[in-house]
Amino acid sequence: MADDPKPLSPGQLAYEEKRAAKAGMSLEKWLAQKARDSEAAARAQAREAKQAAKAKKAPGLLSRLIDKAHKPL
C-alpha cells in the first residue's frame, strides 16, 4: 500500500478487508489484484479509444475511387 497515492480511510480499509476475506486472500494481495485489474481496464479503454480514432480516419484515395465506381450513374 506504500505506492498507493491515496491512503484508505478506516472504513474503506475495513470494507476491503471483508472483501479480501470473502475472496480468501490477504488484504495486500487483494489490493494488488484490484490495482492490476484497474490498470488492465485503463489499458483496454485506451486501446479502444485508439482503435476508435483509427476507425474515424478519412478513406484513402483507392477507397474513394472504388466507392465512386460502385455508385450508379
Q: For residues 50 and 68, what is the distance between their CA atoms, to the nearest angstrom?
A: 29
Considering the domain boundaries, does residue 20 fall inside one?
yes
Distance CA 40, CA 63 (A): 35
Residue 5 lies in a domain: no
Any domain includes 2: no
Query: For residue 70, is pLDDT > 70?
Result: yes
> pLDDT tens digits, residue range 3-41?
556 788 999 999 999 999 999 999 999 999 999 999 999
Q: For 33-50, write each residue's pLDDT tens digit.
A: 999 999 999 999 999 998
Total domains in the fold of the chain = 1
- Phi then psi for residue 28, to 5 deg, are -65, -45
Range of the domain at 27: 10-70
Whether residue 4 lies inside any domain: the answer is: no
pLDDT in tens, 52-69: 887 777 888 999 999 999
Tell me, yes or no, whether 3 lies in a domain: no
**17/30 Cα distance (integer angstroms):** 8
CA distance 30 to 26: 6
The neighbour count for residue 31, using CB atoms within 10 Å, is 19
